[in-house]
Amino acid sequence: MQTRQPVMTVEDLTAFMAREFPQVHDDFRVEEVGAMRVRVRLKVAERHLRPGGTVSGPSMFALADVAVYLATLAMIGPKALAVTTNIAMDFMRKPAAQTDLIAETRLLKLGRTLSVGDALLFSEGLADPVARASMTYAIPPDRAE
């Protein structure tokens, strides 16, 4: 859509996650970064599952939230303070049991104070999305760090 290019690489985003979110960074793997886009994987483990082996709602929320957050940071640089202000999710299919989830994410707006993006979540290897999410982040006024 816009032709701005990312200012952070997969490696930059991975290092940022490890530094700022040590509790959860092991859950995720940044797989690809592009202009206004990222792909992020949830490495599904026991703690993400519900009875029956399916990925829990909060784990899907966490993946979507992290993915659009990283898509924003990829474009504006490492600002740990951007905060989620809104999320809307549709849960459409039961995720495959014991299978990683992949978030394909795009930014739709990257403004001075707000970024808006959406994500489709897929069980690895399956064509139909299990969930859809859209999110808004407030970007702190002073972008310098």
Residues 76-115, one symbol each (x = binds its own copies by CB under 8 A, - = not), give: -------xxxxxxxxxxxx-------------xx-x-xx-
- Provide the minimum distance between the beta carbon of 3 and its own copies in the complex, in angstroms, as a whole number: 9
Separation CA 141–CA 54 (nearest Å): 40
* Cα(13)–Cα(10) distance, integer angstroms: 5
Nearer to its own copies, 8 or 110 (CB): 110
Question: Residue 16 interacts with its own copies (CB under 8 A)?
Answer: no
Q: Under the criterion CB under 8 A, does residue 119 sit at the interface with its own copies?
A: no
Q: Which is nearer to its own copies, 15 or 114 (CB)?
A: 114
Closest distance between its own copies and the C-beta of residue 10, in Å? 22
Classified as helix, coil or strand, 10 is helix
- d(CA 54, CA 121) in angstroms, rounded, equals 14
Q: Of 11, 101, 34, which Cα lies nearest the Cα of 65?
A: 101
Exposure b/e, 129-139, CB count within 10 A at least 16 = b:
bbbebbbbbeb
Binding positions for its own copies, rule: CB under 8 A: 1-2, 20-23, 47, 49-51, 56-59, 61-62, 65, 83-94, 108-109, 111, 113-114, 116, 118, 120, 127-129, 132, 134, 136, 138
